Chain A
Amino acid sequence: MNGWGWVAFAYATAYGSLAVFAGSIAWRIRNTRRSIGETE
């Protein structure tokens, strides 16, 4: 794999995992809001 390939791999890992991590927080916030809304 040439230089750009490795760079792409690294950035995909970084931004991809960050999207998943941030997304999981957003998802949990949404779910918790919903379940509070249901019981309130």
Chain B
Amino acid sequence: MQAQTLNRRWPWVAIVLSLTIAFVFAMISPAADSLQGFERVRIMYVHVPAAWLAYLAFFVTFGGSVGYLITRNLRWDRIAAASAEIGVYFTGLAIALGMIWGKSTWGVWWTWDARLTLTAIMFFVYLGYLALRRTTDDSVLRAGRAAVLGVLGAVQIPLVHFSVIWWRGLHQGPSVVRADGPAIQDPLMLTALIVGVLAFTVVYVSLMVKRIELIHLEDRKAAIDQSIERPVAGEAVTVPDLGGSS
């Protein structure tokens, strides 16, 4: 029982541990490089990792989609689906943190800079992928369709990336607005950033393990539900007596 509980619980423990370490680094790292005291830079220590995970999860969904199309093994589809759900969360978080950074720095919640806009577009690609999955119950059908969309979406993203960057490049105002914040060069600050990225990666892997476990459980439940004999409605319905000769 002890071993089983540890088996199940280790992802949660890993999440708490890694985030605690990252938090400590974020708080004790110096807040100034060449500028005056600049506490807000600590926001970068969660924003950048979240954005990194958003792209990593997207890439894994792409990999899972390709894997499924090649092997037709549902395991790849499970990876793709789990990563998409986790990815949509981290994309949303990256956007939210980017908006907090923007509001605190320039006083506006949204800056139409390339990276923020790109992340928003990616968010909708993810959402569409999840919406598509919800429309199909049959697991094989769903896997095939989602895989094609996964490939289509992923391959389009570089083109979206270029188009948005070129577009913004034409409208660069006098104040160069970077939603990804100041370039962090101080080694201690860089350490906090890297620790943050590593910690969030641990979080991603842990969440993946748990999310895939959930998929397995749901598949098992669905299989059980289908095999249980339930009373058919007909037994509750009696033949109407029309009074004529039967």
Direct contact of A and B (CB under 8 A): yes
Mark A residues whose CB is within 8 Å of B.
1-4, 6-7, 9-11, 13-15, 17-18, 21-22, 25-26, 28-29, 32-33, 35-36, 39-40
- Name B89's closest neighbour in chain A (CB-CB): A21
Mark B residues whose CB is within 8 Å of A.
12, 15, 19, 23, 26, 31, 37-40, 42-43, 46-47, 50, 89, 93, 96-97, 100-101, 103-104, 203, 207, 210-211, 213-214, 217-218, 220-221, 224-225, 228
Whether A29 contacts B46 by the Cβ 8 Å rule is: no
In the complex, A7 Cα to B42 Cα: how many Å? 7
Whether B214 contacts A28 by the Cβ 8 Å rule is: yes
- Name B214's closest neighbour in chain A (CB-CB): A29
Please name 11 further chain A to chain B contacts, defined as beta carbons within 8 Å, in addition to the given A18-B203, A22-B12, sorted by A numbering. Answer: A1-B104, A3-B31, A6-B40, A11-B26, A14-B97, A18-B19, A25-B207, A25-B211, A29-B213, A32-B221, A36-B224
Given contacts A3-B40, A11-B23, A17-B93, contact A29 B217 (CB under 8 A): yes
In the complex, A14 Cα to B47 Cα: how many Å? 9
Smallest CB–CB gap between B50 and chain A, Å?
A: 7
Whether B221 contacts A35 by the Cβ 8 Å rule is: yes
Whether B15 contacts A22 by the Cβ 8 Å rule is: yes
Q: Which secondary structure dominates where chain B touches chain A? A: helix
Whether A3 contacts B207 by the Cβ 8 Å rule is: no
Q: In the complex, what residues of B have CB within 8 A of residue A25's CB?
A: 207, 210-211, 214
Given contacts A10-B43, A21-B89, contact A32 B100 (CB under 8 A): no
Q: In the complex, what residues of A have CB within 8 A of residue B23's CB?
A: 11, 15
Q: In the complex, what residues of A have CB within 8 A of residue B89's CB?
A: 17, 21
